């Protein structure tokens, strides 16, 4: 959303009652009110190059001194743009000597907007007032002099009045002759180093700089699912076709056949027989079949209604993560003095969606609303957050079907069997979910089960447009962009590389089922002592590691170690071991794993103290496979990258190639873990993209921060 961090001093604030463009302007009272931009920033060191500083100003006391722009290191190095005693000044000193000194005499009138621009073009300097080049008195011409180099904070707005659209440009003289003053707010370009739209809520002290390069604008629509009317279906209606003249619905809106509510599975509520509109003409609606539907049924119409005009600028926040656990928040503003928009006010439990360029990025249910009365303007500010219908529209899968009405436990059992045993890559579950009951009755417990299954088996799941539960694996796509230093794609910046072991622990444990004597199968563990192992069993997870309980960890075979066995060598004729297999030396009560397979009868293993010929060796087949698979899915490098972009092409689970020699990142592949979208105003949307480094062969969609996996594993 923003570029540089703005430091707020005194009582500097936004005012919605007075503004030139947008929603507000900056209000300053001249007694300690001003804004700062952290110093030692090369963007404000202009040297001998062209630059421009322009802004709108509305004085509240024109008799006072107005400091619009001041930058200094010491008293001897300064740049000042100011108005004092009827004169507008541009002054530069280097080592206490004037290197530029220009002024023009003119008067200001209170409560009147003025546009100023200060521009250097080569060896020439210009001051424009309301687009007209002013006749300047020159005490010292700038010539070819270099501007000072600063390491301190740039200060702006030490004035008595209002400022709007404050812009600093480097490398360009915006104008060198008279021009028409701007008729709308600025947009950022590659020369823009500071841009303050001064937009926001009344009295806010949040000032945001929009100096990021913005390559493309996007349309954004926020829509609520609203009840419209009840109609009677007309002649020709069938189980999948509803004929209603002038119904007004479009694809993805909804209907409820109230006549057939009690004919649906598990019928108990009015909002049964709900269907999404799959397609529509002016008088016809196509839906999934509703059993028994005929002419003269009562049909309730629900339509997604655009409320974008009531959504406040800079308030949209969309967060998308790998498991579709997305979240969405925005703020609306409604006047209490009239009924404008009152019928469109959201309600908890209502469906909401956000579209960018006509493409739905989020569909969810409002789960929290707060109202705030802002005096003295008597506006109601409404803050809304929504939880997801676990659905992201760029996923299209579907193979296996479960009929509506099946119990959660039955579905969960069959899913687990399918995913773990049959190797199916994708599927669909018909759950009978509809608008009224989706998250209260049918989905929560099943969702918890699905989360657990996904966690251990690298699957994802979501709800599609028809409210079917979809599951899939290996859903990573290749990003259309590459983050390459000096490459063709340039709309990325503010890159941060992090390398941390937060979220990792020192072990993984596998607890199996019982043997024939009802004794638990030995646990497979990694690189811990017995005390740590017991702590893990008691604590369940945390710093001692993660415990994975799975009844399939039961298959084991006992072998006797042959001649030639030692601490680091294991001789077993015709052994089944492969690289990284785990085994348990029952005689020594010690664990080990295979470091190398020498031949069909010998392996090199980790040090098992005292191991000799004749020891009983227990080989875990299924447990071994579980161990390797879980580590393959979950164990990843702790390195992550975060960057900003205005390019709306990044999504979680994308495979992204990154090459940044300056940050010591050679060409490598990363998995996009999360994307946060926020509006920067006027059709621009900033994305904060976080990706994690992955092995080129391992692009599991499991998120790094959810895992408690041993990063210090020996394989």
688 touches 493 (CB < 8 A): no
Query: Average of pLDDT values for 646-663?
Result: 87
Q: What CATH number corresponds to the domain at position 67?
A: 2.60.120.200
230 touches 244 (CB < 8 A): no
pLDDT of amino acid 71: 86
511 touches 547 (CB < 8 A): yes
Q: What is the 3-state secondary structure (H, E, C) of 283-316?
A: CEEECCCCCCCCCCCEEEEEEEEECHHHECCCCC
For residues 237 and 559, which has the higher predicted lDDT (pLDDT)? 237
C-alpha to C-alpha distance for 349 and 439, rounded to whole angstroms: 9
Characterize 146-185 residue by residue with b for buried, 16 or more Cβ atoms within 10 angstroms of its Cβ, and e for exposed: ebbebeebbbbbbbbbbbbbbbbbbebbbbeeeeeebeeb
On whether both 466 and 516 belong to a single domain, the answer is no
Looking at the domain assignment, is residue 214 inside a domain?
no
538 touches 548 (CB < 8 A): no
**Quick check: helix, strand or coil at residue 349?**
coil
On whether both 151 and 248 belong to a single domain, the answer is no
Q: What CATH number corresponds to the domain at position 236?
A: 2.40.30
The dihedral region occupied by 601, where left means phi > 0, alpha psi between -120 and 50, and beta the remainder, is alpha
Which of 22, 267, 270 minimizes the C-alpha distance to 166?
A: 22
On whether both 51 and 126 belong to a single domain, the answer is yes
On whether both 56 and 184 belong to a single domain, the answer is yes
Looking at the domain assignment, is residue 88 inside a domain?
yes
Is residue 430 within a helix (H) or strand (E), and if so which, with residue range?
none
The 10s digit of each residue's pLDDT in 469-486 is 666 554 567 787 889 888
Q: Name the percent of the chain lying above pLDDT 70.
A: 67
User: Which band of pLDDT confidence, cut at 50, 70 and 90, is reported for residue 412?
Assistant: low
With a cut of 50, say whether residue 637 has pLDDT above it. Answer: yes
Other beta carbons less than 10 A from residue 80's beta carbon: 17
Structure tokens that stand for 613 in this block? 């010929």
C-alpha to C-alpha distance for 104 and 30, rounded to whole angstroms: 22
Q: Name the percent of the chain lying above pLDDT 90.
A: 31
On whether both 158 and 49 belong to a single domain, the answer is yes
In angstroms, what CA-CA distances link 357 with 180, 312, 361, 671? 32, 19, 10, 25
C-alpha to C-alpha distance for 412 and 449, rounded to whole angstroms: 7
On whether both 43 and 182 belong to a single domain, the answer is yes
Q: Count Cα neighbours of 653 within 13 Å in the Cβ-side half-sphere.
A: 21
- pTM (2 d.p.): 0.52
Other beta carbons less than 10 A from residue 348's beta carbon: 11
28 touches 12 (CB < 8 A): yes
pLDDT of amino acid 335: 63
The 10s digit of each residue's pLDDT in 110-165 is 999 999 999 999 999 999 999 999 999 999 999 999 888 776 678 888 999 999 99
On whether both 321 and 442 belong to a single domain, the answer is no
pLDDT of amino acid 472: 58
Looking at the domain assignment, is residue 204 inside a domain?
no
C-alpha to C-alpha distance for 486 and 488, rounded to whole angstroms: 7
Query: Average of pLDDT values for 37-53?
Result: 80
Last residue of a domain, one of 306, 328, 363: 306
Query: Average of pLDDT values for 523-541?
Result: 43
Which range among 271-285, 578-592, 642-656 shows the weakest confidence by mean pLDDT? Answer: 578-592
C-alpha to C-alpha distance for 537 and 553, rounded to whole angstroms: 16
**Residue 651, beta-bridge partner list:** none
With a cut of 90, say whether residue 320 has pLDDT above it. Answer: no
Other beta carbons less than 10 A from residue 460's beta carbon: 24
Structure tokens that stand for 650 in this block? 């990044």
* Cα angle 683-69-136, degrees, rounded to a multiple of 5: 110
C-alpha to C-alpha distance for 338 and 345, rounded to whole angstroms: 13
With a cut of 60, say whether residue 517 has pLDDT above it. Answer: no
Looking at the domain assignment, is residue 215 inside a domain?
no
Characterize 312-347 residue by residue with b for buried, 16 or more Cβ atoms within 10 angstroms of its Cβ, and e for exposed: bbbbbbbbbbbbbbbbbebbbbbeeeeeebeeebbe
> Which residue range is the domain that position 264 belongs to?
220-306
Which of 99, 57, 60 minimizes the C-alpha distance to 82?
A: 57
On whether both 329 and 466 belong to a single domain, the answer is no
On whether both 273 and 330 belong to a single domain, the answer is no
Looking at the domain assignment, is residue 700 inside a domain?
yes
Q: Count Cα neighbours of 144 within 13 Å in the Cβ-side half-sphere.
A: 0
* Cα angle 219-371-9, degrees, rounded to a multiple of 5: 80
Total structural domains in the chain? 6
pLDDT of amino acid 699: 62
On whether both 452 and 498 belong to a single domain, the answer is no
């Amino acid at each position: 959303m923003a570029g540089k961090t703005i430091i707020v001093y005194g009582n500097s604030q936004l005012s919605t009652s007075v503004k030139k463009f947008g929603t507000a302007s900056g209000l300053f009272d001249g007694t300690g009110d001003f804004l700062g931009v952290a110093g030692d920033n090369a963007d404000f060191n202009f040297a001998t190059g062209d630059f421009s500083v322009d802004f709108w100003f509305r004085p509240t006391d024109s008799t006072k001194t107005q400091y619009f722009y001041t930058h200094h290191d010491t008293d001897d190095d300064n740049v000042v743009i100011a108005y004092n005693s009827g004169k507008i000044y541009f002054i530069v000193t280097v080592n206490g000597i004037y290197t530029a000194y220009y002024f023009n005499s003119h008067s200001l009138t209170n409560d009147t907007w003025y546009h100023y621009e200060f521009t250097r073009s080569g060896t020439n300097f210009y001051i424009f007032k309301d687009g007209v080049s002013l006749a300047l008195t020159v005490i010292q011409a700038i010539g070819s002099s270099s501007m000072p180099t600063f390491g301190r904070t740039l200060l702006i707005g030490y004035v008595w009045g209002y400022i709007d659209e404050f812009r600093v440009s480097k490398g360009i003289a915006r104008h060198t002759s008279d021009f028409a003053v701007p008729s709308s707010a600025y947009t950022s370009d590659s020369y823009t180093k500071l841009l303050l739209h001064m937009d926001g809520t009344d009295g806010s002290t949040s000032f945001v700089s929009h100096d990021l390069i913005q390559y493309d604008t996007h349309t954004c629509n926020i829509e609520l699912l609203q009840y419209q009317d009840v109609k009677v279906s007309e002649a020709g209606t069938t189980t999948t076709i509803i004929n209603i003249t002038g119904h007004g619905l479009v694809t993805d809106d909804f209907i409820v056949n109230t006549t057939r509510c009690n004919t649906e599975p598990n019928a108990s509520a009015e909002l049964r027989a709900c269907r999404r509109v799959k397609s529509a003409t002016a008088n016809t609606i196509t839906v999934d079949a509703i059993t028994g539907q005929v002419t003269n049924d009562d049909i309730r119409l629900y339509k997604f209604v655009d409320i974008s005009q009531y959504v406040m600028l800079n308030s949209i926040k969309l967060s998308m993560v790998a498991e579709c656990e997305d979240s969405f928040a925005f703020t609306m503003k409604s006047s209490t003095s009239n009924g404008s928009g009152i019928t469109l006010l959201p309600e908890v439990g209502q469906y909401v969606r956000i579209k960018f360029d006509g493409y739905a990025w989020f569909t969810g249910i409002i789960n929290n609303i707060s109202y705030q009365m802002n005096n003295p303007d008597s506006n109601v500010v409404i803050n809304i957050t929504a939880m997801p219908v676990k659905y992201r529209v760029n996923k299209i899968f579907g193979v296996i079907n479960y009929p509506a009405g099946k119990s959660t436990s039955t579905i969960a059992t069959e899913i687990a069997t399918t995913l773990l045993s049959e190797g199916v890559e994708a599927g669909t579950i018909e759950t009978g979910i509809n608008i009224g009951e989706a998250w209260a009755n049918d989905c929560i417990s099943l969702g918890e089960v699905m989360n657990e299954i996904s966690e251990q088996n690298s699957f994802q799941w979501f709800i599609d447009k028809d409210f079917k539960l979809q599951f899939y694996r290996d859903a990573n796509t290749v990003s259309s962009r590459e983050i390459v230093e000096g490459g063709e794609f340039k709309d990325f910046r503010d890159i941060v590389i992090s390398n941390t072991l937060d979220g990792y622990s020192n072990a993984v444990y596998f607890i199996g089922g019982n043997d024939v004597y009802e004794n638990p199968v030995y646990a497979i563990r990694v690189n811990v002592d017995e005390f740590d192992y017991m702590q893990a069993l008691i604590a369940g997870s945390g710093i001692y590691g993660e415990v994975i309980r799975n009844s399939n960890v039961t298959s084991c075979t006992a072998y006797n170690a042959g001649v030639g066995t030692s601490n680091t060598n294991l001789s077993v004729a015709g052994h089944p071991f492969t690289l990284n297999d785990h085994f348990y030396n029952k005689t020594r009560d010690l664990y080990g794993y295979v470091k190398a397979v020498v031949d069909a009868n010998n392996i090199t293993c980790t040090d098992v103290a005292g191991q000799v010929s004749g020891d009983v060796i227990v080989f875990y087949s299924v447990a071994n496979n579980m161990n390797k698979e879980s580590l393959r899915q979950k164990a990843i490098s702790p390195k992550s990258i975060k960057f900003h972009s205005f390019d709306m092409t990044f999504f979680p689970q994308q495979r992204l190639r990154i090459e940044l020699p300056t940050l010591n990142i050679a060409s490598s592949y990363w998995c996009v873990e999360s994307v946060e979208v926020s509006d920067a105003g006027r059709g621009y949307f900033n994305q904060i993209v976080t990706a994690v480094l992955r092995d080129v062969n391992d692009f599991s969609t499991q998120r790094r921060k959810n895992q408690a996996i041993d990063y210090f594993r020996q394989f």
